[in-house]
Amino acid sequence: MQFAINPITTMNYEFDVDVAAYHAAGITHMEFFVDKVDRYLEQHDLSEVRGLLSAGGLTVIAGICVAQIMLEDVTADPERSTEYRSRLALCRDLDCQVLVFIPENPPDPKRDVYPTMERNLRRACDVAAEYDVRLALEFLQGNTLVSTLATAKQIVRNVDHPALGLLIDLSHFWMGRSDLADLEDLSPDEILLAHVDDMTSIEPEFLTDHDRTFPGQGRGIERHVLPAIEATGYAGHYSLELFNHDIWARPIDQIVSESVESFDFLRRHYGQPDP
């Protein structure tokens, strides 16, 4: 099993501080949060971003940003198209082959919106392919359009574009209406990234994203989902993503140390034994 860290886990710290802490803890793979990199670029240039990553021995496996590319055709609006292309260019320039996006969340969607969404998404994929970047669709528990793996999988298959795949987040899988059976027919190349996390042990009815915690410290939501993902043949990274405000408030060295401990926990319990 390969592990990475998502900088949302260390949300209260800036990009350069993140990189230094990850390197000190021996972490070698990370996602990048566009907002953090943008803030760093206000006073630095791209070569300095690349230099920090290189000096820290860090490989970027995915970028995270808010890209609204499903309900509207991103290529039809010059301003939005320029911003979208800038995100893709940043991925390319950081040798990052995946950009994560989340579905829009309209209050009262119509069932007939899906063909339009898929058409728009296909156009967005065409643009992403120009940058050698693949888009990872993340389903979100509670989202009005794409809240389950089944729906996300159907969209990806309907779009049928080599630049599109899935992100599977354990918390959204466990809290939503996704089913283990939905993992059974996935091929490894359909899964571009997996997010790992656990949930605290309060009543499930009261759980939100902010109740995420480190794997090995919670209720064990990975117990059935991780083996099912592994069974697909997925060989990519499992990236730790936590939205817990109490964890965010801790010193970054402590957060990163506990992150590494959670990787060790998952590796011991779910990693394949050495041949």
- For residue range 114-128, list pLDDT tens digits in order: 999 999 999 999 999
Q: Please, are residues 74 and 127 in contact by the beta-carbon 8 Å criterion?
A: yes
Which of 63, 3, 6 has the alpha carbon at shortest distance from 212? 6
Structure tokens at 231: 């069974």
Q: Would you kindly state where each structural domain of the chain is located, as residue ranges?
A: 2-268
Q: Is the pLDDT of residue 111 over 50?
A: yes
- Per CATH, the number for 2-268 is 3.20.20.150
pLDDT at 130 (0 to 100):
99
% of the chain exceeding 70 in pLDDT: 99
Query: Taking all residues of the chain, what is their mean pLDDT, rounded to a whole number?
Result: 96
Q: Which two tokens stand for residue 29?
A: 């793979």
Query: pLDDT-based confidence at 273, cuts 50/70/90?
Result: low
pLDDT at 274: 44
Show Cβ contacts of residue 139 under 8 Å, excluding neighbours closer than 6 positions.
103, 146, 147, 148, 149, 151, 152, 166, 169, 172, 176, 178
114, amino acid identity:
Y
- Give the pLDDT confidence of 220-264 residue by residue, as tens digits: 999 999 999 999 999 999 999 999 999 999 999 999 999 999 999
pLDDT at position 275 over 60 = no
- Which pLDDT does position 271 carry in this prediction? 87
Spatial distance between the Cα atoms of 153 and 228, rounded to a whole number of angstroms: 15
Average pLDDT over residues 181-210: 95
Q: Report the largest interatomic distance among the alpha carbons of the chain, rounded to a whole angstrom.
A: 53
Residue percentage of the chain with pLDDT more than 90:
95
**Going by DSSP bridges, is the β-strand pair 59-64/237-240 parallel, antiparallel, or unpaired?**
unpaired
* Centroid of chain to Cα 148: 15
pLDDT band at 67 (very low <50, low <70, confident <90, very high): confident
